[in-house]
C-alpha cells in the first residue's frame, strides 16, 4: 500500500543541531522556560503520568467488577478508586490533554507567531496544573475521597469523612490552569495572527481550540464557585445547599453542571480540531465544508452552555424545564453530526493513505458517532428516565471521552510527533497499536451499553449475578485496551533516539508549522511568514516544492 | 470449545441461554419506553451504517493506489443542508416522542394509589396508606396505578425499577413523585442508582408485583393496625398542634380542615397552592409562610420530627379534606384490608380463594 511519508535521505539526514530542545540545557532551563513548545512538552510528560495513574484506577475498577461480589476491595475503597479515576482523568488528563500539549505547541506555530501572547502566564498555568495534580495525589494517598467526581451535595458536605476539601482545592487550582490556557489562546488567536492569516485561513484546529478556550474562560469560574461553596458549607456550614437551613441541594447540581456540561465540549472540541487536520492531510484535500466545520465548533460552544439541566431530568426539575433543555440538547447534537458528515465527505475524491494518525482518526469517527448517537438517547427526556445513572451513561461518555477524545489525542500525538521531536515513530507497530486500541475499546465499553439497558446502576461495587457475563467481557476488553495504551509509550520513547529523521514536512501537510524545521527553533520563525496561500492549499504546496526543486536543483 | 476453557464455555452457555438486552416489561409504560428505544436504536444503527459505509467506500475508491491525485472540492451547500435538516428532523421526532413519554411518567393519574418512600443511607422505607411499612421491598398490585411520593432523609438517592422503566431521584427536603401501573406479577430489581456513599451498591431491594387478591392478603398480614393518617393524628395531638389549629373562630392558627388542595394567601400577598410540599415546609419552617391574618408565632419543628413522622402528619392533614378522603376511598377501597368490624364481600371472596 502506498504511503504519503516522504523522508529525507536517512544516510545524510540529521536532526537540526539548533532547535528548541537543544537551545538551552539543564533542568532549570525547562522549569523556568517561557517557550510554548517546552511548556507543551512539560505538559505532555505530566499528563501521561496522570493518565497512567487514572488508568491504574480503571484497571482496579474493572478487576473488582469481574465478580458480582465486592471481593477485591471493600466498597469504601471501591468508591474512592472510582472517584479518583474520575477526578484524575477529567481534571488532570482530559480537560488539559489536547489544548495544553498540542494546543500549546501548535497554536503559535499555526497562526505564525513566535510564542503565545503571555508566555509567563502559560508557564504559571503548568505550575498550577502540577500543584493541583500533586494536591489531588496527596489527598488520594492520605485517605482519598469518596464523593464521586461530581462532589454531589449533601453527600460531600455532610455525610462523608474524607479529603473533600483538599481534593476540591486541587480541582479549583487546576481550573485556573485551564482558564489561563484559554485566555492565552483567545488573545493569541485574536491579536497575533501573521500578516495575511485571516480568520477563514486558519486551520480548523485553531477554530476548535478557540471555541474550547471560550468555554474554559467562561465556564470554569462557575465550578470554582461551586467548589468554594462546598468547602464553606463543609467547614463552616453556611447552608447554601442544606435544606434544613433553607438551602437547596439542587442548586449545587445546577452550578456543577453549568460547568461540567460545557467541560465535555472543552474536552472534545480540541480533539475535533485534530481530526480535521489529520483527515485533510491524509486525504490530500481541503476539509469539505470548511466554514460549516468552523461554525459548528462555535455553535457547539454556544449551545453547550444551555443544556446543563439534561443531567437533572429525574431530579425534580419541572417538566417544562425538562422540555426546554431536552430540545436544546437536540440542537447541540446537530453540529456534531455536521462535522462527522463533513469529515466523511473530505475523503470523497481524495487520495487517501492509512498511516497511524489516520487510523486513529477513523477510530475517532466511528466511536464518536456511537457516543454522539447514544447521547441523544440520554438527551431525550423520556428515554433518559430509564437509562440515566446506569452503565449506559458510563458507556456513552467513555465512547465520547475515551473513544473520541483519547483517539484524537493519540492521533494528534502521532501526527505532530515528527514536528515535536524531529523523528518518526515506527509505523508498523503503531498501526498495530491503533487497531488494538480500537478493538480493546469496543470490547470494554460496548457491553456496558447492554448492561445499562438491563438497568445495572453505575458506581456499584457489587451487582446482581446476572450481569456478570457482560462485565467479564468488559474487563477482558480493558486488558486489551491497556496493551493498546502501553505500546505507544514504549515505541515513542524508543523513537526519540532510534526513530527515522523526519525532515521538515514528512506528511506533505499545508500548515505553517510544517514549513519550518523539525524540531522548530525556539523563536519558531526566523522571519514572520506572510500568508498568501489558502488554508489546506495542497496545490500551493505542490508549487512550493517545484519552486524549491528548480531553485536548489 | 469446552476442552479449551471450561470456565469460558460455561460463561458462554449461561449467557447465550439467558441473554437479554432489555429487562422484563412489567408495567404499562415499559412497552411504550421500549418502542421509543427500538426506534432510536434503529435510527442510530442506520446512521452509523451510512457513515461507516461512506468511510469504507471512499477509503477503497479513493485510496492513493487507485486515485493518486485528489480533486479539491470546496463544499456543497445542498449537502450541508441535507445533513443538517435530516438529523435535526429525526432528533425532533425523538424529542417530541420522548417528551410525551416523560410527561406521562411524571404526571400521575388522579386515581393513583399513593405510597410514600423514604430513602436513607442505605435503605428504602416504603409507607403504605394503611400503615404497612417495608424496608428494601415494595409490594404493589397489578392493574392499579401507583404513585410514589419520594423523599430522602439525608443525601440524594434514586429509586429505580428497571422492569417498570421508571426512576426518580429521592431528594433531601423535597417531595418528588413518579407513578406506574404494574402489569405482570413477579419479583423485580429495585436499585438505588444515585451514588450515596459507602453501601450504595447494597441499597437494593425487590419490587413484588402481586395480583390484587394476593396484595390484599399481604396488606392484611402486614398491617400494624394503624393507618398512616391515624398515626399522623396521634402525632398531631402529641405535638399539641390542635392548641392553635383547632378550627375555632378565634384560633391562633389557620383551620386545617379542607386546607389541602386549597389556595391560601400569605401575608406577603402571594397566593400558594397547599400541596404535600407546602404542608411539609409549613411544619418545618413556619415563619417563611405565614397565612394572611395570622401572627408568626408557630415554632419550627425542624429536627424534631422524622421524615416518616412528617409523612404521617401530611397524610393526616390531607385526610382533613373531605374530597381527598372520598378520592382515597374510591382509589383504594378495593385494595384495603377489611377491618374485623365490617366484613365485606371481597373478604368473603378472599376467603373463598384460600
Please say if the pLDDT value at position B352 is more than 60: no
Per-residue pLDDT at A434: 96
Sheet of strand B145-152, all strands in order from the earlier edge strand to the far edge? B133-135, B123-127, B113-120, B145-152, B176-181
Per-residue pLDDT at B351: 36
What pLDDT band is residue B291 in, cutting at 50, 70 and 90? confident
Cα(A362)–Cα(B29) distance, integer angstroms: 39
Please say if the pLDDT value at position B1 is more than 60: no
For cell 490530500, name the residue. Answer: A284
Closest CA to A281 of A172, A338, A356, A207: A356
SS3 content of chain A, % helix, strand, coil (to 5): 70, 0, 30
* C-alpha separations of A361 from A4, A277, A358, B65, B246 in Å: 16, 10, 5, 20, 74
Closest CA to B157 of B207, B206, B123, B115: B123
What pLDDT band is residue A439 in, cutting at 50, 70 and 90? very high
CB distance A155–B195 less than 8 Å? yes
Q: A78-81 — which CB contacts under 8 Å span 24+ positions? A: A78/A461, A79/A146, A79/A148, A79/A459, A79/A461, A79/B195, A79/B197, A79/B198, A79/B200, A80/A140, A80/A144, A80/A145, A80/A146, A80/A162, A81/A57
Searching chain B, which residue's CA lies closest to the CA of residue A379? B95
Model confidence pLDDT, tens digit, residues A518-544: 899 999 999 999 999 999 999 998 888
In this structure, of A512-521, B5-14, B100-109, the range with the lowest mean pLDDT score is B5-14
Mean pLDDT of chain A: 93
Per-residue pLDDT at A44: 97
Mean pLDDT of chain B: 86
Model confidence pLDDT, tens digit, residues B96-134: 999 999 999 999 998 899 999 999 999 999 999 888 889
Model confidence pLDDT, tens digit, residues A195-204: 999 999 999 9
Model confidence pLDDT, tens digit, residues B201-256: 999 999 999 999 999 999 988 887 788 888 898 899 888 888 888 888 888 888 88
* Averaged pLDDT for residues B51-57: 96
Q: What is the distance in angstroms between the Cα of B259 and the nearest Cα belonging to chain A?
A: 24
Per-residue pLDDT at B333: 57
> Which of B25, B70, B122, B306 to substitute to test the interface with A, most A CBs within 10 Å?
B70
Length of chain B: 354
Diameter over CA atoms, chain B: 97
List the domains of chain B with CATH numbers.
23-62+75-105 (no CATH), 228-339 (1.10.760.10)
On whether any CB of chain A is under 8 Å from the CB of B221, the answer is no
Contacts of B124 (CB under 8 A, 6+ apart): B117, B118, B135, B136, B138, B157, B159, B190, B192, B203, B205
What pLDDT band is residue A1 in, cutting at 50, 70 and 90? low
In this structure, of A276-285, A467-476, B114-123, B328-337, the range with the lowest mean pLDDT score is B328-337
Cα(A93)–Cα(A96) distance, integer angstroms: 6
Cα(A174)–Cα(A196) distance, integer angstroms: 36
Please say if the pLDDT value at position B174 is more than 80: yes
> Across the A/B interface, how many CB contacts are shorter than 8 Å?
293
* Averaged pLDDT for residues A469-494: 94
Cα(B165)–Cα(B35) distance, integer angstroms: 12
List the domains of chain A with CATH numbers.
27-552 (1.20.210.10)
- 3-state class (DSSP) for residue A534: coil
Model confidence pLDDT, tens digit, residues A3-30: 888 888 888 889 999 999 999 899 999 9
* Averaged pLDDT for residues B1-5: 65
CB distance B58–A457 less than 8 Å? no
Residue with more model confidence, A546 or B184: B184
CB distance A351–B68 less than 8 Å? yes
% of chain A at pLDDT higher than 90:
89
> Which of A70, A200, A335, A380 to substitute to test the interface with B, most B CBs within 10 Å?
A380
Q: What is the distance in angstroms between the Cα of A514 and the nearest Cα belonging to chain B?
A: 20
Cα(A105)–Cα(A273) distance, integer angstroms: 14
On whether any CB of chain A is under 8 Å from the CB of B194, the answer is yes
What is the pTM for the complete model shown? 0.92
In this structure, of A413-422, B319-328, B332-341, the range with the lowest mean pLDDT score is B332-341
Searching chain A, which residue's CA lies closest to the CA of residue B78? A289
Annotate A465-491 with DSSP letters as a single string: GGGHHHHHHHHHHHHHHHHHHHHHHHH
Helices (H), A422-467: 427-454
How far is CA A412 from its chain centroid? 11
What angle in degrees, to the nearest 10, is found between the helix axes of A36-64 and A468-498? 150
Q: Which chain B residues have a beta carbon less than 8 Å from that of A345?
A: 54, 76, 79
Per-residue pLDDT at B334: 55
Per-residue pLDDT at A239: 87
Per-residue pLDDT at B342: 40
> Which of A74, A160, A382 to substitute to test the interface with B, most B CBs within 10 Å?
A382
How far is CA A291 from its chain centroid? 23
> Which of A455, A535, A539, A542 to substitute to test the interface with B, most B CBs within 10 Å?
A455
Cα(A300)–Cα(A215) distance, integer angstroms: 10
Q: Considering only residues 95 to 134 of chain B, which have any Cβ-Cβ distance to chain A shorter than 8 Å? A: 95, 97-103, 105-107, 121
Asked whether the beta carbons of B46 and B90 are under 8 A apart, the reply is no
Nearest CB to B58 within list A340, A348, A472:
A348
Per-residue pLDDT at B354: 32
Nearest CB to A370 within list B48, B54, B74:
B48
Per-residue pLDDT at B247: 80
Please say if the pLDDT value at position A135 is more than 90: yes
CB distance B94–A466 less than 8 Å? no
Other Cβ atoms closer than 10 A to B31? 11
CB distance A338–B198 less than 8 Å? no
Amino acid at each position: 500500500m502506498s504511503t504519503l511519508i516522504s523522508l529525507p535521505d536517512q544516510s545524510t539526514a540529521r536532526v537540526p543541531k539548533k532547535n528548541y530542545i537543544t537551545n538551552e540545557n539543564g533542568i532549570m532551563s525547562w522549569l523556568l522556560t517561557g517557550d510554548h513548545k517546552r511548556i507543551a512538552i512539560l505538559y505532555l510528560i505530566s499528563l501521561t503520568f496522570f493518565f497512567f495513574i487514572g488508568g491504574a484506577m480503571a484497571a482496579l475498577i474493572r478487576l473488582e467488577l469481574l465478580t458480582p461480589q465486592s471481593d477485591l476491595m471493600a466498597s469504601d475503597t471501591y468508591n474512592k478508586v472510582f472517584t479518583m479515576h474520575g477526578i484524575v482523568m477529567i481534571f488532570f488528563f482530559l480537560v488539559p490533554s489536547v489544548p495544553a500539549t498540542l494546543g500549546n505547541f501548535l497554536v503559535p506555530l499555526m497562526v505564525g507567531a513566535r510564542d503565545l501572547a503571555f508566555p509567563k502566564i502559560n508557564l504559571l498555568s503548568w505550575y498550577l496544573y502540577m500543584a493541583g495534580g500533586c494536591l489531588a495525589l496527596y489527598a488520594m494517598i492520605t485517605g482519598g475521597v469518596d464523593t464521586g467526581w461530581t462532589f454531589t451535595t449533601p453527600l460531600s458536605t455532610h455525610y462523608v469523612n474524607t479529603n473533600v476539601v483538599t481534593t476540591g482545592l486541587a480541582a479549583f487550582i487546576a481550573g485556573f490552569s485551564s482558564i489561563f490556557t484559554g485566555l492565552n489562546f483567545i488573545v493569541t488567536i485574536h491579536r497575533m495572527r501573521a500578516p495575511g492569516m485571516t480568520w477563514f485561513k486558519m486551520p480548523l484546529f485553531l477554530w476548535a481550540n478557540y471555541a474550547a478556550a471560550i468555554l474554559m474562560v467562561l465556564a470554569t469560574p462557575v465550578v470554582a464557585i461551586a467548589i468554594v461553596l462546598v468547602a464553606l458549607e463543609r467547614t463552616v456550614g453556611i447552608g447554601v445547599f442544606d435544606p434544613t437551613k433553607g438551602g437547596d441541594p439542587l442548586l449545587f447540581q445546577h452550578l456543577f453542571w453549568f460547568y461540567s456540561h460545557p467541560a465535555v465540549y472543552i474536552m472534545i472540541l480540541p480533539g475535533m480540531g485534530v481530526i480535521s487536520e489529520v483527515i485533510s492531510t491524509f486525504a490530500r484535500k481541503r476539509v469539505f465544508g470548511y466554514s460549516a466545520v468552523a461554525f459548528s465548533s462555535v455553535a457547539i460552544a454556544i449551545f453547550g452552555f444551555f443544556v446543563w439541566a439534561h443531567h437533572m431530568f429525574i431530579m425534580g426539575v419541572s417538566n417544562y424545564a425538562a422540555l426546554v433543555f431536552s430540545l436544546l440538547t437536540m440542537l447541540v447534537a446537530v453540529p456534531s453530526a455536521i462535522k462527522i458528515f463533513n469529515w466523511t465527505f473530505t475523503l470523497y475524491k481524495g487520495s487517501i493513505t492509512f498511516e497511524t494518525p489516520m487510523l486513529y482518526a477513523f477510530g475517532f469517527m466511528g466511536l464518536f458517532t456511537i457516543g454522539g448517537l447514544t447521547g441523544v438517547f440520554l438527551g431525550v427526556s423520556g428515554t433518559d428516565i430509564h437509562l440515566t445513572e446506569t452503565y449506559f451513561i458510563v458507556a456513552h461518555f467513555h465512547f465520547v471521552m475515551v473513544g473520541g477524545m483519547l483517539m484524537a489525542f493519540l492521533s494528534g500525538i502521532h501526527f505532530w510527533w515528527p514536528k515535536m521531536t524531529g523523528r518518526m515513530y515506527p509505523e508498523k507497530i503503531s498501526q498495530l497499536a491503533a487497531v488494538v486500541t480500537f478493538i480493546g475499546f469496543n470490547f470494554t465499553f460496548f457491553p456496558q451499553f447492554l448492561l445499562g439497558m438491563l438497568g445495572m446502576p453505575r458506581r456499584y461495587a457489587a451487582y446482581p449475578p446476572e450481569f456478570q457475563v457482560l462485565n467479564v467481557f468488559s474487563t477482558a476488553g480493558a486488558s486489551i485496551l491497556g496493551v493498546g495504551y502501553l505500546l505507544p509509550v514504549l515505541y515513542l520513547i524508543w523513537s526519540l533516539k532510534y526513530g527515522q529523521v523526519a525532515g521538515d514536512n514528512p506528511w506533505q501537510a499545508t500548515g505553517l508549522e510544517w514549513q519550518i524545521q523539525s524540531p522548530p527553533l525556539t523563536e519558531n520563525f526566523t522571519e514572520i511568514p506572510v500568508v498568501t496561500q489558502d488554508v489546506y492549499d495542497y496545490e500551493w504546496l505542490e508549487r512550493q516544492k517545484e519552486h524549491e526543486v528548480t531553485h536548489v536543483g | 470449545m469446552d476442552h479449551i476453557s471450561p470456565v469460558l464455555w460455561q460463561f458462554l452457555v449461561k449467557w447465550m441461554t439467558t441473554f437479554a438486552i432489555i429487562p422484563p416489561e412489567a408495567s404499562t409504560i415499559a412497552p411504550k419506553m421500549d418502542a421509543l428505544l427500538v426506534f432510536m436504536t434503529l435510527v442510530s444503527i442506520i446512521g452509523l451504517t451510512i457513515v461507516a459505509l461512506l468511510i469504507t467506500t471512499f477509503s477503497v475508491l479513493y485510496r492513493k493506489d487507485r486515485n493518486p491525485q485528489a480533486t479539491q472540492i470546496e463544499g456543497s451547500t445542498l449537502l450541508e443542508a441535507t445533513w443538517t435538516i435530516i438529523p435535526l428532523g429525526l432528533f425532533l421526532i425523538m424529542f417530541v416522542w420522548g417528551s410525551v413519554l416523560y410527561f406521562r411518567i411524571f404526571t400521575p393519574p388522579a386515581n393513583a394509589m399513593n405510597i410514600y418512600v423514604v430513602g436513607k443511607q442505605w435503605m428504602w422505607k416504603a409507607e403504605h396508606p394503611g400503615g404497612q411499612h417495608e424496608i428494601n421491598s415494595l409490594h404493589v398490585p397489578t392493574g392499579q396505578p401507583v404513585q410514589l411520593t419520594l423523599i430522602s432523609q439525608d443525601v440524594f438517592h434514586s429509586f429505580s425499577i428497571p422492569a417498570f422503566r421508571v426512576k426518580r431521584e429521592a431528594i433531601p427536603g423535597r417531595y418528588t413523585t413518579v407513578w406506574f401501573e404494574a402489569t405482570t406479577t413477579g419479583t423485580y430489581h429495585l436499585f438505588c442508582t444515585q451514588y450515596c456513599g459507602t453501601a450504595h451498591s447494597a441499597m437494593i431491594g425487590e419490587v413484588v408485583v402481586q395480583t390484587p387478591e394476593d396484595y390484599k392478603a399481604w396488606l392484611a398480614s402486614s398491617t400494624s393496625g394503624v393507618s398512616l393518617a391515624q398515626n399522623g393524628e396521634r402525632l398531631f395531638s402529641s405535638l399539641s398542634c390542635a392548641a392553635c389549629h383547632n378550627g375555632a373562630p378565634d384560633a391562633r392558627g389557620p383551620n386545617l380542615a379542607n386546607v389541602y388542595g386549597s389556595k391560601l394567601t400569605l401575608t406577603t400577598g402571594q397566593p400558594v397552592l397547599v400541596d404535600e410540599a407546602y404542608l411539609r415546609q409549613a411544619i418545618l419552617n413556619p415563619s417563611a409562610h405565614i397565612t394572611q391574618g395570622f401572627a408568626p408565632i408557630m415554632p419550627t419543628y425542624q429536627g424534631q420530627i422524622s421524615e416518616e413522622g412528617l409523612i404521617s402528619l401530611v397524610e393526616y392533614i390531607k385526610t382533613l379534606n373531605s374530597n381527598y378522603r372520598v378520592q382515597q376511598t374510591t382509589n383504594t377501597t378495593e385494595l384495603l384490608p377489611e377491618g374485623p368490624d365490617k366484613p365485606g364481600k371481597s373478604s368473603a371472596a378472599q376467603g373463598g380463594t384460600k
